[in-house]
Amino acid sequence: MGSDSPAARLANTPPATPPFDIVRAAFVELAVTDLAAAERFYAELLGMIVAARTNDTVFLRGWEERQHHSLILRQSAPGQPATASRLGFRVRSEADLERASEHFTGEGLTTRWLEAGSDPGMGRSLRVWDPFGYPLEFFHAIEQSETQHQRFDLHRGAPLLRFDHLNLHSPRVEDAFRFWLGLGFRCSEYISTDGVGGDDVERMTGAWMLRKPTVHDVALTAGTGPRLHHFAYWIAEPAGVMRACDQLSGGYHTDVIERGPGRHGVSNAFFVYLRDPDGHRIELYSCDYYTGDPDHKPLRWSVNDPRCRSFYGTRAPDSWYEESSLLLGLDDQPVATEAANVDERAQHSEVAA
Amino acid sequence: MGSDSPAARLANTPPATPPFDIVRAAFVELAVTDLAAAERFYAELLGMIVAARTNDTVFLRGWEERQHHSLILRQSAPGQPATASRLGFRVRSEADLERASEHFTGEGLTTRWLEAGSDPGMGRSLRVWDPFGYPLEFFHAIEQSETQHQRFDLHRGAPLLRFDHLNLHSPRVEDAFRFWLGLGFRCSEYISTDGVGGDDVERMTGAWMLRKPTVHDVALTAGTGPRLHHFAYWIAEPAGVMRACDQLSGGYHTDVIERGPGRHGVSNAFFVYLRDPDGHRIELYSCDYYTGDPDHKPLRWSVNDPRCRSFYGTRAPDSWYEESSLLLGLDDQPVATEAANVDERAQHSEVAA
Amino acid sequence: MGSDSPAARLANTPPATPPFDIVRAAFVELAVTDLAAAERFYAELLGMIVAARTNDTVFLRGWEERQHHSLILRQSAPGQPATASRLGFRVRSEADLERASEHFTGEGLTTRWLEAGSDPGMGRSLRVWDPFGYPLEFFHAIEQSETQHQRFDLHRGAPLLRFDHLNLHSPRVEDAFRFWLGLGFRCSEYISTDGVGGDDVERMTGAWMLRKPTVHDVALTAGTGPRLHHFAYWIAEPAGVMRACDQLSGGYHTDVIERGPGRHGVSNAFFVYLRDPDGHRIELYSCDYYTGDPDHKPLRWSVNDPRCRSFYGTRAPDSWYEESSLLLGLDDQPVATEAANVDERAQHSEVAA
Amino acid sequence: MGSDSPAARLANTPPATPPFDIVRAAFVELAVTDLAAAERFYAELLGMIVAARTNDTVFLRGWEERQHHSLILRQSAPGQPATASRLGFRVRSEADLERASEHFTGEGLTTRWLEAGSDPGMGRSLRVWDPFGYPLEFFHAIEQSETQHQRFDLHRGAPLLRFDHLNLHSPRVEDAFRFWLGLGFRCSEYISTDGVGGDDVERMTGAWMLRKPTVHDVALTAGTGPRLHHFAYWIAEPAGVMRACDQLSGGYHTDVIERGPGRHGVSNAFFVYLRDPDGHRIELYSCDYYTGDPDHKPLRWSVNDPRCRSFYGTRAPDSWYEESSLLLGLDDQPVATEAANVDERAQHSEVAA
């Protein structure tokens, strides 16, 4: 596959002039089946700051963050499964929220306004169900707290500093890619097939897209979806990722570690993936790089490069590819999923070997 | 000093709508008295990539960088001292260069165009001598190289990843602050006096200002100037800073280490400062944080907080406050300097102790 | 299984008054099928110091070591497979060598003296084939070199500091345990079955035994044998283990990484296992602990504790359990092997899951 | 100064056949003026394990240790200053205690037996006042606790793993050296003058001496004495030393950091020195090396090598050379001190510069 393949052309397409200005991915809301267990996981085991608490919600943030909260745990309705219920993005101004509303309405998508104060500390926000079923939410105003970045004496468990990105399990990666391109996201890296065998078309099986100048705000991973593959918090250094693992295992919680610690070839991240009591996946993420130059070009990885997903060659467990969080739909029911149109593992050497 | 002091008001002044769009601080040119010695320092001891070389210049970059070069070593004219001769900033587009030219001309500043190709890999650039004497240079186009971020096997000495910032020794910090505010720079942190003693006015003795969403692109340090206090490259993690120190000292080059390794309270940087054979100061810098949210407010440090410049309390050597690089002026002579209007050390507890 | 089980009683048996004084495990000789490829692996990729070289051998040591060499690569005879051909131990004095000779002769084992100078830098040594077929070698005198511990500027690839231990793949772990106990080795940790199912006897599946006051000089791992499972070099810190991985993968040698980086529950080691071009396995090992107090008691791990072999829960690849180095026998032929009398993996939860 | 200088001959003198078998330096008792403040420092700020507590004492240990305690804080008598009151060494057996008693009595030194149980968990011990005034104590039996090495979830502040060594401020280093040589201690490293100027005799200004095979159990530092310069706990890795500093400073306790973090040339230690509320000095110590081979030779450093005490060249504060803990004498009064017969700082380049 050359640089003029369809996938390469797509990856290198300049982003649209954004219809409104998204600053970054900024929060996630998880519907959980046992709120107390979820709070224990994030606040006690991982050591996040509890910003606010209501009867059926807990609001948390990382140690560096001034934004009132970046993780919402919400007790799911009786009988309902755990889902990812809101994927939050901050926009630059209130005017951008208005433009967002016009844009999505113009696209024929369902939107809803949430009034300021619906969540503690937050201004009004705009909810949108994207064409694939992801429950997006855009906001500008949010209360600012004091950073506790340097209160190293209080950091416990895993020194989660700040919300970094959302990774979406996508049955049709290239379609999703075009959607985010349309919102002004650029691509930093992508994985594509080599187009061998019966199927000789190069296909994207993963893509990393950004607004803030890091490797990504949103990643797309080929797989049954729409689902949320994981959300990630930034850790200052690999030593912090390892310390989190040591503390989890030292306290007899090895079972929450799903994959890692290790390094991704893609993004250069030194990572570990954890599963919370409902199976939601959180990545502790360090070591990405600067992508803010205007002519920054995407890097391509072949799915057959063994270093692509696992720089040190460690095989990912099947669960990492197969499992992820259902989404909460417009009707308060889990969004129906479909299988991916390309299977990354079927092609690459980790499995072939 | 309260939050409504003059210094606090200045620090919290929103930046001007930028007259043109500066992406980030992007390079520095050093006039050196012994080009071979300077190249040995940066390319062999510190392990930077040599991008190009001419009779009287060497162009280098860090391991992550795709921008053709970010450090230029230029043989100084016979009899001339070492100076910092160009402080480079990247702008978003060629149109921004035009707007820059109009802006500075309108301000009555001297500007000059350098044609594309004057330096290997670079497009045209605009040189400007700011009101204080700093030799600024703005450019948009530059050749893109392949990143060697993950060629860990080739990284040597000090794994310098990318150019991060410029720190300017400024005799009048608040005046300089206003200049950069006028170019659209925001403030992330500042140091100010407590206004004790005969002088009861709070005064800024340091400020950290940014365009890219990190702690800074330009810092201002009170001191005899105008001079370049230091330039800094990003290191992925504290372990990398320490490894650099171990390798320097292991190879009998302890003398190039001026200050550190240590952590600054301001910026949270884990750092070490080195002096090159001409005394130019380079900082190896890790651990800053995200500042890109639109309502990100500056943090204030008192000069009397012992953690401010030295989080662990280690006293900085006098040379760190007193020495820095002369600038090359419009007339190819070193720019004349004046003493600072406020002496940070005279007030703070490191010295009082 | 209680503390009075046969395995626990064996593990807690005080070592014999040593018939001669072994200081520590001190070197390994590998017969390799391609000497140049093996040297490239150890000297270039891993960065070890080449101490001497002959037509058919290369002698290497780690950066801290003063002992002339701790790794010998020897070209294997045409048509012969790669083997581990000598497992070296240092004794305290020449008199201890004499006592060793008497001891082993008295035990009816085959011994041979090698004259001083048979290898560069080495005094005379005593070769012994133990009852299981391991080619042991004991020596006292060896040339002392200058340490290069602090020449951090020269350390490359993987900063291997010093030889640490030998791990023996043993078909009958408890028998081997008694042999080493008889030479004055103590036990720091062991793994044993819980004795469930049809087989209700607790059995040792792994044991860590020492002379120098670290976790081990010799480890025994249940498996087809006698074979050498691996040998290990000490790395100063986890950051060094990871740097080695980054440098190997960065240079496109991910394929040499077999398992890790990760932490063992047993021994607390932060490790990575590599395979050389002949499949010999080397561990980069950091983070063990002090065991020198006279009443230091062994720790027991259940094979069913998921943290036992893999503190973070990452599944070891099958190759790590199944493959290892054949030994070179008295007749210069590979020593015949037999299957283990207990299969660790058949019982523990990594596989059950 | 050549290798046949008096200081070199002394350093290379083989240790005496030990009159009794000392395993290692094992504990220190500090008389403190405010027991609650001292406990807060060691147990809360540094995070040590409290093993036992009485009305006027607190017994603590590190996370790895099984020995019941390794640090004793004892409320000093009213009006008495803080002192170091017992310097503890473990011997291999009860018989060694008897031999110790005979030995010291034979030397004409004052000894006293403490009955078993005088301290919680401890067997009987033998107190000895050495010829310089150091209050030594020897013991064999001590209660064994469960290690908490891998309870990473509980480690706080500074992950102090185990007692490592005692550093004695000695007015006559060479005399003290001979005393320890007589107890079977070997020398791993020493610092000596170059014998320049009026005084052309090479003199030892520091020495590192050991029983366990690390760099030292006892170090001797030239200075006013006899006093205890510091005691040290082992930290697993440099990252742990830095984490301790970050947590101390993050919690507004920068003032307890006296020197570092940094690396010593001597011993290769990556260290930080802290002062407790009474001014007692504790070192957090990592990165030494193996010294157990029978022919291990001492390394010599010149006091004029800038890397000797400070590998990165950072100047030590004067307090580090001048201040240290008085000792408690036989009469329960502080032991009188005398000035050193050689001043390390007067000769070396840190001060000359």
pLDDT digits (tens, 9 = 90+) for D144-173: 999 999 999 999 888 999 999 999 999 999
**What is the pTM for the complete model shown?**
0.96
Question: Does C149 have pLDDT greater than 80?
Answer: yes
Question: Does D86 have pLDDT greater than 90?
Answer: yes
Question: Does A348 have pLDDT greater than 70?
Answer: no
Residue type, C104: F
pLDDT digits (tens, 9 = 90+) for C54-103: 999 999 999 999 999 999 999 999 999 999 999 999 999 999 999 999 99
D97 interaction partners in chain C (CB closer than 8 Å): none
Give the whole-number percent of chain D exceeding pLDDT 90.
89
Say whether residue D254 is in contact with chain B using an 8 A CB cutoff.
Answer: yes
How many CB pairs below 8 Å do chains B and C form together?
A: 40
Outline where DSSP puts E strands in B144-244.
Answer: 162-170, 186-192, 204-210, 218-222, 227-234
Question: Does D5 have pLDDT greater than 90?
Answer: no
**From CA A225, how far away is CA A172, in angstroms rounded?**
8
Outline where DSSP puts E strands in chain D.
Answer: 22-32, 49-53, 57-61, 71-75, 83-91, 111-114, 125-129, 135-139, 162-170, 186-192, 204-210, 218-222, 227-234, 257-263, 270-275, 281-286, 299-302
A152 interaction partners in chain D (CB closer than 8 Å): 243, 246-247, 249-251
Question: Does A209 have pLDDT greater than 70?
Answer: yes
Looking at residue B166, its pLDDT comes to: 98
Say yes or no for a CB contact (<8 Å) between A152 and D249.
Answer: yes
Give the whole-number percent of chain B exceeding pLDDT 90.
89
Say yes or no for a CB contact (<8 Å) between D152 and A239.
Answer: no
In this structure, how many other beta carbons lie within 10 angstroms of the beta carbon of residue A184?
16
Closest CA to D73 of D35, D46, D110: D35
- Confidence category of residue B351, pLDDT binned at 50, 70, 90: very low
Query: DSSP secondary-structure letter at A180?
Result: H
Secondary structure element (H or E) that encloses residue D341, with its range: none
Say yes or no for a CB contact (<8 Å) between D150 and A250.
Answer: yes
How many CB pairs below 8 Å do chains B and D form together?
A: 67
A317 interaction partners in chain C (CB closer than 8 Å): 315
pLDDT digits (tens, 9 = 90+) for C187-211: 999 999 987 555 568 899 999 999 9
- The 3-state DSSP class for residue A11 equals helix
Looking at residue A320, its pLDDT comes to: 97
Chosen from C146, C233, C293 to mutate, greatest number of chain D CBs within 10 A:
C293
Decide if C271 contacts C237 (C-beta within 8 A): no
- Confidence category of residue A350, pLDDT binned at 50, 70, 90: very low
Chosen from A247, A248, A249 to mutate, greatest number of chain C CBs within 10 A:
A249
Decide if B135 contacts B87 (C-beta within 8 A): yes
**From CA B202, how far away is CA B7, in angstroms rounded?**
6
C254 interaction partners in chain A (CB closer than 8 Å): 306-307, 311-313
pLDDT digits (tens, 9 = 90+) for D196-219: 555 568 899 999 999 999 999 999
**From CA A37, how far away is CA A39, in angstroms rounded?**
5
Encoding tokens for residue D80?
Answer: 């008495």
Say whether residue C249 is in contact with chain A using an 8 A CB cutoff.
Answer: yes
- Least-confidence region, from B230-239, B306-315, C341-350: C341-350
- Confidence category of residue C1, pLDDT binned at 50, 70, 90: very low
pLDDT digits (tens, 9 = 90+) for A310-331: 999 999 999 999 999 999 998 9
> Taking residues B77-96, what's their average pLDDT?
97
Chosen from C188, C289, C312 to mutate, greatest number of chain D CBs within 10 A:
C289
Looking at residue B353, its pLDDT comes to: 32
78-97 of D, contacting C, C-beta below 8 A: 90, 92-93
Which chains does B contact via 3+ CB–CB distances below 8 A?
A, C, D
Q: Give me chain B's average pLDDT, please.
A: 94
Residue of D249, D255, D270 with shortest CB distance to B311: D249
**From CA C298, how far away is CA C319, in angstroms rounded?**
28
**From CA A305, how far away is CA A309, in angstroms rounded?**
8
Tokens 């309902």 appear where? Answer: A80
Question: Does C351 have pLDDT greater than 50?
Answer: no
Give the whole-number percent of chain C exceeding pLDDT 90.
89
- Least-confidence region, from A50-54, B338-342, D2-6: D2-6
Looking at residue B200, its pLDDT comes to: 67
Residue of B249, B311, B312 with shortest CB distance to D311: B249
Which chains does C contact via 3+ CB–CB distances below 8 A?
A, B, D
Looking at residue C194, its pLDDT comes to: 87
Say yes or no for a CB contact (<8 Å) between A150 and B311.
Answer: yes
Say whether residue B238 is in contact with chain D using an 8 A CB cutoff.
Answer: yes
Looking at residue D2, its pLDDT comes to: 52
A306 interaction partners in chain C (CB closer than 8 Å): 254-255
Question: Does B276 have pLDDT greater than 80?
Answer: yes
Closest CA to C236 of D327, D329, D237: D237
Secondary structure element (H or E) that encloses residue A54, with its range: none
CA B236 remoteness from chain centre: 18
Looking at residue B352, its pLDDT comes to: 34
Question: Does C349 have pLDDT greater than 60?
Answer: no
DSSP codes of every residue in C149-187: TT-TTT--SS---EEEEEEEEESSHHHHHHHHHHTT-EE
Closest CA to C150 of D284, D299, D34, B3: D299
Looking at residue A352, its pLDDT comes to: 33
Q: Give me chain A's average pLDDT, please.
A: 94
- Confidence category of residue A349, pLDDT binned at 50, 70, 90: very low
- Confidence category of residue D28, pLDDT binned at 50, 70, 90: very high
**From CA B253, how far away is CA B258, in angstroms rounded?**
11
> Taking residues B162-170, what's their average pLDDT?
98
Say whether residue A44 is in contact with chain D using an 8 A CB cutoff.
Answer: no
Say whether residue A162 is in contact with chain B using an 8 A CB cutoff.
Answer: yes
Say whether residue C151 is in contact with chain B using an 8 A CB cutoff.
Answer: yes
> Taking residues D263-283, what's their average pLDDT?
98
Say whether residue D255 is in contact with chain B using an 8 A CB cutoff.
Answer: yes
pLDDT digits (tens, 9 = 90+) for A80-102: 999 999 999 999 999 999 999 99
Say yes or no for a CB contact (<8 Å) between A249 and D152.
Answer: yes
What is the b/e burial string over D256-284, where b = at least 16 CB atoms within 10 angstroms of the residue's CB? bbbbbbbbbbbbbbbbbbbbbbbbbbbbb
Say yes or no for a CB contact (<8 Å) between A265 and B150.
Answer: yes
- Least-confidence region, from B278-282, C99-103, C197-201, D224-228: C197-201
Output the CA–CA distances (angstroms, integers) from residue C315 to A314, A316, C307, D104, D279, in the order listed: 9, 10, 10, 57, 49
> Taking residues D75-104, what's their average pLDDT?
97
Question: Does D62 have pLDDT greater than 60?
Answer: yes
How far away is chain C from the Cα of D20, in angstroms, using its nearest Cα? 15
**From CA D333, how far away is CA D327, in angstroms rounded?**
8
Q: Is the complex ipTM more than 0.85?
A: yes
Closest CA to A225 of A139, A314, A118, A340: A340
Say whether residue A253 is in contact with chain B using an 8 A CB cutoff.
Answer: no
Looking at residue C47, its pLDDT comes to: 96
Looking at residue A351, its pLDDT comes to: 38
Decide if B58 contacts B35 (C-beta within 8 A): yes
Q: Residue B177, class by beta-carbon neighbours within 10 Å (0-12 exposed, 13-18 middle, 19+ buried)? A: buried
Residue of C152, C246, C247 with shortest CB distance to B247: C152
> Taking residues B224-229, what's their average pLDDT?
98
> Taking residues B116-141, what's their average pLDDT?
96
**From CA B62, how far away is CA B161, in angstroms rounded?**
5
| Beta strands A135-139; A125-129: pairing state | antiparallel
pLDDT digits (tens, 9 = 90+) for C284-302: 999 999 999 999 999 999 9
Say whether residue C254 is in contact with chain B using an 8 A CB cutoff.
Answer: no
Secondary structure element (H or E) that encloses residue B330, with its range: none
pLDDT digits (tens, 9 = 90+) for C250-269: 999 999 999 999 999 999 99
How many residues are there in chain A?
A: 353
Give the whole-number percent of chain C exceeding pLDDT 70.
95
Looking at residue A196, its pLDDT comes to: 57
C64 interaction partners in chain B (CB closer than 8 Å): none
Q: Give me chain C's average pLDDT, please.
A: 94
Proportion of chain A in helix, strand, coil states, percent, rounded to 5: 20, 35, 45
274-293 of B, contacting A, C-beta below 8 A: 286-287, 289-290, 292-293
pLDDT digits (tens, 9 = 90+) for A148-193: 999 999 998 888 999 999 999 999 999 999 999 999 999 999 999 9
Looking at residue C200, its pLDDT comes to: 67
Say yes or no for a CB contact (<8 Å) between C64 and D311.
Answer: no
Decide if C87 contacts C134 (C-beta within 8 A): yes
Please provide residue B26's backbone torsions phi and psi, each rounded to the nearest 5 degrees. Answer: -135, -20
Decide if A233 contacts A148 (C-beta within 8 A): no
Looking at residue B201, its pLDDT comes to: 81
Looking at residue A347, its pLDDT comes to: 60
Looking at residue D344, its pLDDT comes to: 82
Which residue is closest to D148 within chain A, CA to CA? A250
- Confidence category of residue B347, pLDDT binned at 50, 70, 90: low
